[in-house]
Each structure stands twice: as structure tokens, then as C-alpha cells.
Chain A
Amino acid sequence: MRALDVAVLVATLAGLVGYGLWRSRATRDMAGYLVAGRQLPWPLIALSVMATQASAVTFLATPGQGYVGGLSFVQFYFGLPIAMVVLCATIVPLFQRMRVSTAYEFLERRFDGRTRTLAAGLFLLQRGLAAGVTLFAPALVLSVILHWDLRATCALLGLLVLGVTTLGGSRAIGHTHALQFTIIMGTMALAFLLALHALPARLGAGDAFALAGHLGKLNAVDTHFDPRGRYNLWAGLVGGLFLQMSYFGTDQSQVGRYLAAKSTAASRMGLLFNGLFKVPMQFFVLLLGVVVFVVYQFAPTPLFFDPSGAEVARAGPHAGRWQALEAEHARLSRERAGLVGDWLASRAAPAAVRHGRAADGLLRLRAADQAVHDSAVAVIRASSPAANTNDTNYIFLHFVLSRLPAGVVGLVLAAIFAAAMNSSSSEIHALTSTTIVDVVRRIPGAPTDDARLLGWSRAASVFWVVFAVAFAQFAGRSGSLVETVNQLGSLFYGTILGIFLCAFFVHRAGGPAVFFAALLAEAAVLACWKLDLVFWLWFNVVGCLLTVGLAALLSQLVPAWRAAPVPERIAD
């Protein structure tokens, strides 16, 4: 890295950490630590909610996702605005009225302590694992660029996050999120403009779109229904709705954000703002990846974007085969650059010519290059079964380092770090809140005074950071980071959402019925995952519907498992 980049990176991070520490000075009691004294205005809630979801994974892996798979991933977010509206109309006013500190407190008042423990336990398990992935993404950036040890980098990032969460709690998190998210979005907008600037001068915006579309990268909406297909309109609207309702309605890392609002209206406004701007934001991050793809149609690219994977292959027993693949990839790149020029020239010609040799040739070359890439992955795997074989997460980094000017590289890296601190601080704070409120405070003889509980909270933060850092060691082998995070969540979110929906809509269901229904539903989701029955977005639907359906059935079959007919007990 150049000196200017290092200076920008260090100055930006130092400023952000300093701001967080300054903001944490007002946190002296548990109400301030857990929910910021319920004093934050809606613009801060809005930015904090968006910052929590938009982790470093979003800005690191999503452009790579756009490069590899085009715009199709945007469909994943189609259910989000609907989820925001449903939650604002149902669960948000209830949480605010009950003055809970965590989502799971509500479940004990509606059902029983066992159901609260189950939901909190499922959350701690999945969010603890996901926190590892969230830490891993930016650690990967630094380890690749500065040739640092990946594990040590994970640990360093964990320490930075620990500083914000242990000292400042919810108030400091809310304020730093607003500043960090503004910097992040400004930086990504700058990167987008510079990516457009990196396109060849002869290429207009229409040409770039036409080329991306011809090569299948502008596939934003797929109306074909396929339960095992990756991304389509129906999976996004239905599966995405269930996933986002569960994430924003029952995941403490988000619930904790809007519980810090000064009123129900402020919580609602924060979520609705997110519902309005999330899909356009994800679209532009994916489009950035598509623009990078078009830029790389005119320039040589590495055979494999992860330099460590390439090193493994070059040093392994199949080095000769790797060299041959690199030569073939370079030849295809040169041929492609020529064909792209021919194809652009033919765009003004009649359709018969336009869809002729150059157009077919581009598609043929794309297929040939994909086959070469697949062979390269096979060589890496044969050289070292433990090596990373997915280079999606490295594509945007490669572009940043090779194409962006000095200073901007440091700014992009700082933005990725800021994003990691945003989401990780929310996650660690949520894990800490749940551990203290839903576990520690319920243990007989547990401390009740604020000073000791604050000490316990800080100890819990340390534990969860260590847990996340430990899990991060395994996260890199799991494919695309952005998918890994959501896939992990989808294993548990449906069941948790089902428990909450029972509280609202299955008035007859008592604690035991919901508890055993949730256990059975979770077993079914895990079976779907192990047997690969449906695409993972549908896990949310399966878990939720099974929990609700089984709870209704069990409460019908076993009279002792029915709820007492006093639903207003949870509303006051």
C-alpha cells in the first residue's frame, strides 16, 4: 500500500474510534448500555439499522457477487420493504409499549421461561457464528494486502470492536453508526464513479449496459419459479419476507437498534426509511460489480483472484498444469478484447449482422473462460484440499488495488473496516444484551445492581468477541461471505419468527405447545439443509410455517398446553 493510503486509512479509523470513545462517556448505567436510555431520534435509528445490516460483507463480497452472478442477488432483498411495514404495524409498537430490553423478554410474558430460553439460545448460536463471518471479511482484506497473518488480523479487528461495544454500549453504537455509514456510502459512491471512469473512453453507458446484458449480467428479475433455484422473484418476495421479518423482528442485533429510539414513531420511521432505501442501495452495490466486470472485459485479469490460491497452485505438484491454464486464460482475454471491439462496432448494423459472429464469439469465449476457471479451481483443490477455492470475495479488492488512485484505496479500506465495526458492534452488543438479560439476570442469586451488571456485560462482550474470532478461522472456506451469513441465519430464523408469530396469531397456543413445535420445526429445517431439499432462503418459510402449524395442532390435541385466555396480559 502507498503511504497516502496508509495515512488515510489510519486517520479515518483513528477518527472513528475516537468519536466512538467520546460518545461512550455518557454511558454509566444499564439502561444507557442496553438501549441508549431510549433517547435516540429517528434519523440515527434509520442509519444505525442500515449500518447494522450493511456489514463489510456487503461492500466486499456483494460487488464480487455482481461480477460473477450479475444483478440477480438484488431479488434477495425484495421482501424487506414488506417486512418493514408488517413489523411497524405489529411488533414494534408492542415492544416499545412493553419497554423490553431484548426481543426474548416478551416471550416469557406471553408463553413461559422455557420458550424464552429456547429463542434466546437459538439467537445466541446463530448470531455468534455469523459474528465470526462478519469479522472475517475485513480481516481478509488486510491479510491479503499487507500480507498479515489472517488469524492475527481477525483478533486485531475483534479488539477494535470490543473497544466500542464494551465501553460505549448502545448509545455510542448508535452515534458512531450514523457517522460511519455516511462515510461508507460516500466512499462507495466515489468508487462507483471511478469504476465508470475506468471504462474505455470509446465505450458509452449504453454500450456498457448492452455488453453486460449480452453476457447475462443484467438479470435483475427472474420470474421463473424454482424452489431449488438460487435467486428468483418468488424466493425473494416470500422467502425474503420471512427472513427479513425474522431478522428485523426477532434478531436482537436489529431489535436492539430500534429499541433505543425515543418513541414508537422514531422506531417505525427508522425501519420504514430502511424499507425505502435498502433495495436501491443493494442494486447500486451489485451494479458496481457489473461495471467492474465490463471494465475487465478490456483488460487482463488473474486466472484466480485470490492470490493465496494461485500461490498454492504454483507451488504444488500441478504447477505445469496451472501455467498452461494461465496461458490459455491470457489468450482468451486477448481474443475477447478484440471480439468486444467487433461486437460494439456491429451494434449499429442490421440485426442479422449484430447477432452474428462477434456476439456468438463472446458467449463462446465466456463459456471457455468459465471452463478454464473451473479447471483452475480443480488444480488448487488437488494441490491443497484445505485451500480456498472461491475467489468471489477478492474481485472488488483486486479492482480497488489495481485501478483506484492513491488515497481512494485507503478510503475504501477504511470504509470496509468501518462497515465491519458497524455490524460487529451491533452483533456483539446484541449477544451481550441477550446473555445478560435473558440468561445471567435470570440465574438465582445473580447481581441486580447496575455497577456489577455493567461489569458482567463487559465480560460477556469479551467472551463473544473471542467466540467470533475463533469461528472466523473456519468462515473463509464457506464460499461467498454474503451468502454464508444469510445461510447461517436462515437455519434458525424461521423457527424464531414462528415462535413470535404464535404469540400474535395463535392465541390458543401455550408455552409447551410452542416450545415443542419449535423443536420439531428446527429439526425439519436442519433435515432440509442436510438433505439439500430446497434452496436455503426457503428454510425461513419452512421453519416459520411448521412452528406455527405444529403449535396450533399441539395446543388443539393437548388441552394442558393451551394458553390461559388472557391475551391482554402481554399488551400492558
Chain B
Amino acid sequence: MRRPGDERDDAESEPPPLPLSWRQLYALVIGALAVVIAALAWLTERWR
């Protein structure tokens, strides 16, 4: 039974226009955020 929000159909039938899967793209976005926050935390400490 398909539930609201179930994305299997889209994820399988419509890949991203890049050589990455959707999961890899999501990980890229979250990973980039983590790097940016770490860099900004370093900036804050470095120039305090």
C-alpha cells in the first residue's frame, strides 16, 4: 500500500540529472552544511 509521502516511484523512475543518486545528493547537501558550520565555528574562534 502506498502511503502519503512515499517517494519510491519517483526515486526509481526519475534519477537526478547528475551522475549521483538522490541519496548521494542529499548527503552532499548535508555534508556541505556540516563543513560550512565547522568553517564558521573556526572563524569565530580564530578571530575572537
Quick check: B7 and A89 within 8 Å, CB to CB? yes
Q: Determine whether A220 belongs to the interface, using a CB cutoff of 8 Å to chain B.
A: yes
Q: Determine whether A504 belongs to the interface, using a CB cutoff of 8 Å to chain B.
A: yes
Chain B residue numbers with a CB within 8 Å of A91 are: 5
Quick check: A220 and B10 within 8 Å, CB to CB? no
Closest Cβ of chain A to B47, distance in Å, is: 3
- Partner among A42, A213, A214, A221 whose Cβ is within 8 Å of the Cβ of B41: A221
Quick check: A94 and B4 within 8 Å, CB to CB? yes
Q: Determine whether A462 belongs to the interface, using a CB cutoff of 8 Å to chain B.
A: no
Bound complex: CA of A223 vs CA of B38, how far in Å?
A: 12
Known: A90-B5, A263-B14. A85 touches B29 (CB 8 A): yes
Known: A220-B43, A263-B14, A568-B1. A213 touches B33 (CB 8 A): no
- Partner among B2, B30, B32 whose Cβ is within 8 Å of the Cβ of A571: B2
Known: A82-B30, A210-B47, A268-B22. A220 touches B3 (CB 8 A): no
B41 to chain A: closest residue by CB: A221
Chain B residue numbers with a CB within 8 Å of A570 are: 4
* Contacting residues of chain A (191-212) with chain B, CB-CB under 8 angstroms: 209-210, 212
A206 to chain B: closest residue by CB: B47
Closest Cβ of chain A to B17, distance in Å, is: 6
Bound complex: CA of A212 vs CA of B47, how far in Å?
A: 8
> Which of B16, B37, B44, B47 has the most chain A CB atoms inside 10 A of its CB?
B47
A568 to chain B: closest residue by CB: B2
Chain A residue numbers with a CB within 8 Å of B22 are: 88-89, 268
- Partner among A74, A96, A213 whose Cβ is within 8 Å of the Cβ of B47: A213
Interface string of B1-42 (1 = CB under 8 A from A): 111111101110011111000100110111011001100110
Quick check: A94 and B5 within 8 Å, CB to CB? yes
* Contacting residues of chain A (246-299) with chain B, CB-CB under 8 angstroms: 263-265, 268-269, 272, 275-276, 279-280, 283
Bound complex: CA of A88 vs CA of B41, how far in Å?
A: 28
A264 to chain B: closest residue by CB: B10
Known: A42-B17, A263-B14, A265-B15. A276 touches B28 (CB 8 A): yes
Chain A residue numbers with a CB within 8 Å of B18 are: 269
Q: Determine whether A331 belongs to the interface, using a CB cutoff of 8 Å to chain B.
A: no
Known: A283-B40, A568-B3, A570-B4. A265 touches B30 (CB 8 A): no
Q: Determine whether A123 belongs to the interface, using a CB cutoff of 8 Å to chain B.
A: no
Closest Cβ of chain A to B2, distance in Å, is: 5
Quick check: B17 and A265 within 8 Å, CB to CB? yes
Chain A residue numbers with a CB within 8 Å of B47 are: 209-210, 212-214, 218
Closest Cβ of chain B to A218, distance in Å, is: 4
Chain A residue numbers with a CB within 8 Å of B36 are: 279-280, 283
Known: A82-B30, A89-B26, A213-B47. A221 touches B37 (CB 8 A): yes
Closest Cβ of chain A to B48, distance in Å, is: 6
Q: Determine whether A78 belongs to the interface, using a CB cutoff of 8 Å to chain B.
A: yes
- Partner among A78, A81, A219 whose Cβ is within 8 Å of the Cβ of B44: A219
- Partner among A78, A88, A210 whose Cβ is within 8 Å of the Cβ of B26: A88
Chain B residue numbers with a CB within 8 Å of A214 are: 47
Chain B residue numbers with a CB within 8 Å of A210 are: 47
Chain B residue numbers with a CB within 8 Å of A97 are: 9-10
A208 to chain B: closest residue by CB: B47
Bound complex: CA of A97 vs CA of B41, how far in Å?
A: 41
- Partner among A42, A96, A264, A279 whose Cβ is within 8 Å of the Cβ of B33: A279
Chain A residue numbers with a CB within 8 Å of B29 are: 81, 84-85, 272, 275-276
B48 to chain A: closest residue by CB: A213
Quick check: A567 and B40 within 8 Å, CB to CB? no
A263 to chain B: closest residue by CB: B14
- Partner among A93, A272, A280, A572 whose Cβ is within 8 Å of the Cβ of B25: A272
* Contacting residues of chain A (461-504) with chain B, CB-CB under 8 angstroms: 503-504
* Contacting residues of chain A (78-122) with chain B, CB-CB under 8 angstroms: 78, 81-82, 84-85, 88-91, 93-94, 96-97, 110
Bound complex: CA of A44 vs CA of B4, how far in Å?
A: 28
Bound complex: CA of A265 vs CA of B46, how far in Å?
A: 41
Bound complex: CA of A88 vs CA of B26, how far in Å?
A: 9
Known: A81-B32, A213-B48. A218 touches B6 (CB 8 A): no
Apart from A74-B40, A210-B47, 6 more pairs, CB < 8 Å: A78-B37, A81-B32, A89-B7, A213-B47, A219-B44, A283-B36
Seen from chain B, the residues whose Cβ lies within 8 Å of a Cβ on chain A are 1-7, 9-11, 14-18, 22, 25-26, 28-30, 32-33, 36-37, 40-41, 43-44, 46-48
* CB-defined A-B contacts under 8 Å, sample of 21: A42-B17, A81-B32, A85-B29, A85-B30, A93-B9, A96-B10, A210-B47, A214-B47, A218-B44, A219-B44, A222-B44, A223-B41, A265-B10, A265-B16, A269-B18, A272-B26, A272-B29, A276-B29, A280-B36, A570-B4, A571-B6
Seen from chain A, the residues whose Cβ lies within 8 Å of a Cβ on chain B are 42, 71, 74, 78, 81-82, 84-85, 88-91, 93-94, 96-97, 110, 209-210, 212-214, 218-223, 233, 263-265, 268-269, 272, 275-276, 279-280, 283, 503-504, 507, 567-568, 570-572
Closest 5 CB pairs of A and B: A213-B47, A220-B40, A93-B10, A221-B41, A81-B33
